[in-house]
Amino acid sequence: MSLLDIFMIAVRVAFSAFIPLCFIAVCVWMERRGAGFFQDRAGPNRAAIYGFRAAGLVQNAADGIKLFFKEDMISDHIKHKFFFVMAPFIVFFCAIISFAVVPFADTLVLGGRGYVMQGIPMDIGILWFLAVTGFSVYGIILAGWSSANKFGLLGSLRSAAQVISYEIPMGLALVSMLIVYGTVNLSEMAQYQGQLLFGFIPMWGAFLQPVSLMIFVIAAFAECNRTPFDLAEGESELVAGFHVEYSAMKFAVFFMGEYVAMFASSAIIITLFFGGYQIPFLNTQALITFAKPVAFFMMIGLPIGMYYFAGWIRRNNVSHYPRENDPRVTEANVYIKCFWGLVVIIELLLIGILICQSGGSAAHVFVALLQICTFLVKVTMMIFVYIWVRWTLPRFRYDQLQKLGWQMLLPLALLNIFITSAVVIALS
Amino acid sequence: MGAKVKTMERRGSTFIERIYLVEIFKGMARTLSHLLRNLKDNSKLYVRHYPEVQPEIPAGWRGRHRLTTHDDGTVKCVACFMCQTNCPADCISIEAGERHDDKAEKMPVSFNINLLECIYCGYCVEACPLDAIRMDTGIFSLTDNNRQAFIIGLDELLTTPGAYPEEDQKKGGA
């Protein structure tokens, strides 16, 4: 094992362990500011360090510090303290490792050796995701049960019933995807989606299997306990559901676990249905061949995009009431300078790509980075869909939830499997 | 005069609506339009930038109490106990004493209002026969670190000025 091998393993493990953690901050920020903007209010934007609000991101740090230093209480009536403490960590751990099988870039070829860009390079792929997310409900059940609290127990029972009902349509929706792709390995699925359908449409799962996409997304929402399926913590009837008895950092771990699960399931939806790390119309081979033109167009596009972005910051980061020497204008100028600095650094790297020999290892690394960026942008968009749905739809009633799962999604998924199999057999 | 009956159209029975997805997308388009509008120009948010921008309090609004005075600055209150008797929250406590300046026979020696118990119903103002207590200070935000600070006495009640001119009071201020 050479030094490069060890380095690449460290990189891929670090990526799949820390990127979900970094995205917690982004998710929480998107959720709260997004919720504000959906409802025509501002959202948390007052917390500041030396007057720098960072569009409300400082609020995350403030909340994190608050939760970290709060008194960690365990009520006396809780008998099973071990399970009580363990429950949030099961949820969090399962959420993190469910992301481990998602490929975030195509196999990187360096010095004649291929490096799989996946936290845990496994062939079972999607099966791992199903198994691990199914396991995370144990954390919720354990939390509700060990709380010795009616609300908690009801919440966790609801959650268990919900996961059982929606795991089946989700699995069946996957079966039709597996028939199409002919593999359970997520890397191979993402590579498959780099092809073109009829020569001009990217061969994404969403275009091949729209019904399957719909069922899978609905089931994934239910699996993450997100609105409209957040009956496990329906605050109007159950206070907070399974985490009523939790406070301080134990609550925060539940909270972060929820967002990591959201990130992981977004990543899975992206990989299965929206081409994973693939840039539409440019598969990995094409990207490596055309690395220089792509870098050149990025060099032109970035400053133009940044110019409009700077204008947007300048227009929106001002005080909306009369104020002398508005400090938010200076703040905006600092942000704009930081972003321009970032653009300059990226430009220098792109010049490096233009100078380097085409098709060499620099091009390979450049393509891998480009694909990672594409992957993260797609995942962020999917997370936005989660947030968007949350602030649009009201919560389901419990019988409606079960009816939707068993009477609508399950027959639809079965029908989809039959039709897909018939088409696949007819074509082959 | 018969009541006007408006028959509401019952929604949700057509096939498109029963599929539910189309309606979900319609709703999502509506919320997205709000997001994009606010993202493009955040001065369009329906928010007041409190505390930098204070709300406008109308004259009829019941704020913190004050005691009014005669033109020469002496207290109007004659300690008749009407407000204390009328108070549903029992937050007013008056101690009466003799008065020697020929304006009345009695005057309050101490007049305490516990603002934490007060429910701002305005019954004291209604009950007062001499227009001696009013709630026209326009103070709506009361904060302090200890409970004792919320029991305000004669001095504080007398020194707080009214926030509105006399004409507004005659139009029916509190």
Given this model, what pLDDT does residue B117 score?
A: 92
Is the pLDDT at A125 greater than 90? The verdict is: no
Residues B25 and B100 in one domain: no
Q: Is the ipTM of this complex over 0.90?
A: no
Q: Is residue B161 part of a domain?
A: yes
- With beta carbons under 8 A apart, name residues in chain B contacting A391: 31
Is the pLDDT at B173 greater than 60? The verdict is: no
- Residue A380 pLDDT class (50, 70, 90 cuts): very high
Given this model, what pLDDT does residue B50 score?
A: 85
Residues B75 and B41 in one domain: no
Residues B43 and B116 in one domain: no
With an 8 Å Cβ cutoff, are A41 and B34 in contact? no
As a residue count, chain B comes to 174
**What letter does residue A360 receive in the DSSP assignment?**
S
Please state, for a pLDDT cut of 90, what percent of chain A lies above it.
12
Helix (H) / strand (E) element for B1: namely: none
Q: Mind listing the pLDDT tens digit for each residue in A251-262? A: 888 888 889 989
Please tell me whether residue A343 adopts helix, strand or coil conformation.
helix
Average pLDDT, integer, range A267-293: 83
Which residues fall within 8 angstroms of residue B14, CB to CB, at 6 or more apart? none
B96 near B109, Cβ under 8 Å?
yes
Interchain CB contact of B47 with A (< 8 Å):
yes
Average pLDDT, integer, range A314-337: 86
Given this model, what pLDDT does residue B145 score?
A: 92
Q: Return the beta strands (E) in A12-135 as ranges.
A: 105-110, 113-117
Is the pLDDT at A103 greater than 80? The verdict is: yes
Q: Is residue B4 part of a domain?
A: no
Q: Is residue B123 part of a domain?
A: yes
Cα dist from A314 to A42, A237, A311, whole Å:
17, 44, 5
The region of weakest confidence among A107-116, B47-56, B59-68, B72-81 is A107-116
Please tell me whether residue A282 adopts helix, strand or coil conformation.
strand
Residues B21 and B101 in one domain: no
- With beta carbons under 8 A apart, name residues in chain B contacting A36: 45
CATH of the domain at B122: 3.30.70.3270
Closest approach of chain B CAs to the CA of A362, in angstroms? 38
Q: Which one of A40, A315, A393 has the shortest CB-CB distance to B24?
A: A393
Residues B90 and B162 in one domain: yes
Q: Encode A52-61: b = buried (16+ Cβ within 10 Å), e = exposed.
A: ebbebbbbbe
Q: Is residue B92 part of a domain?
A: yes
The region of weakest confidence among A95-99, A123-127, A347-351, B83-87 is A123-127
Residues B111 and B25 in one domain: no
Cα dist from A79 to A82, A83, A84, whole Å:
9, 9, 9
C-alpha triplet A165, A206, A263: angle, nearest 5°? 60
Distance between CA atoms of residues A16 and A186, nearest Å: 14
Q: Mind listing the pLDDT tens digit for each residue in A48-87? A: 888 788 888 888 889 889 988 988 888 888 888 888 888 8
Adjacent-strand bridge partners of B114:
B151
A28 near A259, Cβ under 8 Å?
yes
Distance between CA atoms of residues A270 and A185, nearest Å: 14
Distance between CA atoms of residues A89 and A92, nearest Å: 5
Q: Is residue B83 part of a domain?
A: yes
Would you give the end-to-end CA distance of chain A in angstroms? Answer: 42
Q: Is residue B25 part of a domain?
A: yes
Given this model, what pLDDT does residue A156 score?
A: 86
Residue of chain A nearest B33, judged by CA positions? A38
Cite the DSSP H helix spans in A274-397: 284-289, 291-316, 327-355, 361-390
The tokens describing A421, both together, are 């199999």
Cα dist from A411 to A173, A174, A228, whole Å:
11, 14, 21
Average pLDDT, integer, range B85-101: 91
Residues B43 and B71 in one domain: no
Residues B96 and B40 in one domain: no
Given this model, what pLDDT does residue A337 score?
A: 92
Interchain CB contact of B45 with A (< 8 Å):
yes
Residues B155 and B110 in one domain: yes
B134 near B65, Cβ under 8 Å?
yes
With an 8 Å Cβ cutoff, are B45 and A392 in contact? no
Can you list the pairs that A406-412 forms with residues at least 24 positions away whose Cβ atoms lie under 8 Å? Answer: A406/A165, A409/A166, A409/A169, A409/A215, A409/A218, A409/A219, A410/A168, A410/A169, A410/A172, A412/A169, A412/A211, A412/A215
- Residue B116 pLDDT class (50, 70, 90 cuts): very high
Closest approach of chain B CAs to the CA of A85, in angstroms? 36
- Residue A358 pLDDT class (50, 70, 90 cuts): low
Residues B27 and B72 in one domain: no
Q: Identify the residue whose tokens are 């127990």.
A: A153
Mean pLDDT of chain A: 86
With an 8 Å Cβ cutoff, are A321 and B34 in contact? no
Question: Residue B90, Cβ neighbours under 10 Å: how many?
Answer: 10
Closest approach of chain A CAs to the CA of B43, in angstroms? 6
Q: Which one of A37, A321, A389 has the shortest CB-CB distance to B39?
A: A37
Given this model, what pLDDT does residue B85 score?
A: 92
Q: Mind listing the pLDDT tens digit for each residue in A2-36? A: 888 888 888 888 888 888 888 898 899 999 999 99
Cα dist from A335 to A300, A323, A376, whole Å:
21, 20, 22
With an 8 Å Cβ cutoff, are B41 and A316 in contact? yes
Residues B70 and B43 in one domain: no
Q: Are strands B66-67 and B133-134 parallel, antiparallel or unpaired?
A: antiparallel
* Inter-chain Cβ pairs, chain A and chain B, closer than 8 A: 50
* Contact residues of A toward B, CB < 8 A: 34, 36-42, 214, 315-316, 319-321, 323, 388-389, 391-393
pTM for the model stands at: 0.84
The tokens describing A84, both together, are 């009580």
With an 8 Å Cβ cutoff, are A320 and B24 in contact? no
Distance between CA atoms of residues A127 and A130, nearest Å: 5
Full strand arrangement of the beta sheet holding B92-98: B92-98, B106-114, B151-152
- Residue A108 pLDDT class (50, 70, 90 cuts): confident
Given this model, what pLDDT does residue A326 score?
A: 83
Distance between CA atoms of residues A182 and B160, nearest Å: 81
Q: Identify the residue whose tokens are 């792929």.
A: A125
Q: Is residue B56 part of a domain?
A: no
Closest approach of chain B CAs to the CA of A163, in angstroms? 22
The tokens describing B8, both together, are 């509401």
- Say which amino acid occupies A109: V
Domain, as residue range, for B17: 11-47
Helix (H) / strand (E) element for A210: namely: helix A210-223
Residue A117, sorted as left (phi over 0), alpha (psi -120 to 50) or beta, turns out to be beta
Q: Is residue B61 part of a domain?
A: no
Counting the structural domains of chain B, the total is 2
- Residue B170 pLDDT class (50, 70, 90 cuts): low
Residues B70 and B105 in one domain: yes
Residue B146, φ and ψ in degrees, nearest 5: -130, 160
- With beta carbons under 8 A apart, name residues in chain A contacting B55: none
Q: Mind listing the pLDDT tens digit for each residue in B13-46? A: 888 888 788 888 999 999 999 999 988 888 888 8
The tokens describing B90, both together, are 């029992």
Residue of chain A nearest B32, judged by CA positions? A38
Residue B170, φ and ψ in degrees, nearest 5: -70, -25
The tokens describing A214, both together, are 């719909």
DSSP string, A245-272: T--HHHHHHHHHHHHHHHHHHHHHHHHH
Please tell me whether residue B96 adopts helix, strand or coil conformation.
strand
Q: Mind listing the pLDDT tens digit for each residue in A297-317? A: 888 898 999 999 999 988 888
Is the pLDDT at B174 greater than 60? The verdict is: no
- Residue A233 pLDDT class (50, 70, 90 cuts): confident
B141 near B117, Cβ under 8 Å?
no
Is the pLDDT at B121 greater than 70? The verdict is: yes
Distance between CA atoms of residues A139 and A143, nearest Å: 6
Is the pLDDT at A341 greater than 90? The verdict is: yes
Helix (H) / strand (E) element for B107: namely: strand B106-114
Closest approach of chain B CAs to the CA of A407, in angstroms? 13
